[in-house]
Amino acid sequence: MELGEPDDSGRRRPVPVPGSETSVAADTVIAAVGQAPDLSFLPPDSALERTRWETLVVNSNTLATNVSGVFAGGDFVTGPGMVVDAIAAGRRAALAIDKFLRGDVSRVDVHERKTGVVVAAARSDVEETWETQRRLAVKTLPVAERRTSFNEIELGYPEDIAMREARRCLRCDLEG
């Protein structure tokens, strides 16, 4: 895309650049197009409280709406954002929903460092535990090669380390 000529309001709109399309092979694609959430499925007289931006109002800690037993997160609360923010909201909502279903009204604290969390599952004796792991540095292209090429600078991880990093990264309630 490139910026076209200014319109009547003086704003330059993006226009496609012919022949600039590319194809990239991928195993997984996460579509994150930054569009507004679609609340059209809610009836106009819905009791769910909305903001003036047509997102849902929630408790910032539990992600509970003003309707008991209804929780929301991600773009439905914040508007368009990053995928990892929606994943973190999902994790926080899962903890809050678990507490709600068990009748536990204590604060959902996803910011404390955890050593173990009891997870609601088919078996109530299942406990999920983990150890804190630091983020691994991504290998990068040497500076001398960066200056003379358009090759990607960050070289990524081997598959086994990428899987381990993904598991570590998705524990959004952990610091370290």
Could you tell me the residue ranges of all domains in the chain?
117-176
Distance CA 172, CA 167 (A): 10
Please state the pTM of the whole predicted model.
0.45
Residue among 30, 46, 175 at smallest CA distance from 111: 175
Report the range of poorest mean pLDDT among 19-28, 53-62, 132-141.
Answer: 132-141
Report the range of poorest mean pLDDT among 34-48, 90-104, 122-136.
Answer: 122-136
Confidence of residue 15 (pLDDT cuts 50, 70, 90): very high
Q: Which tokens belong to 6?
A: 């200014």
- Asked if residue 120 has pLDDT above 50, the reply is no
Report the range of poorest mean pLDDT among 104-113, 136-145, 154-163.
Answer: 104-113
Contacts with 104 (C-beta within 8 Å, 6 or more apart), sequence order? none
Question: What is the DSSP secondary-structure string of 128-144?
Answer: EE----PPPPPEE--HH
Which of the pair, 33 or 41, is modelled with greater confidence? 41
pLDDT of residue 28: 82
**Count of beta carbons in the 10 Å neighbourhood of residue 108:** 21
Average pLDDT value over all residues in the chain: 78
Residue 144, CA atoms < 13 Å, CB-side half-sphere: 0
The average pLDDT across 61-78 equals 87
Is residue 111 within 8 Å of residue 102, measured between CB atoms?
Answer: no
pLDDT of residue 16: 92
Secondary element (H or E) of residue 155: strand 154-156
Q: Tens of pLDDT along 125-147? A: 445 555 666 778 889 999 999 88
pLDDT of residue 122: 41
Distance of CA 81 to the CA centre of its chain: 8
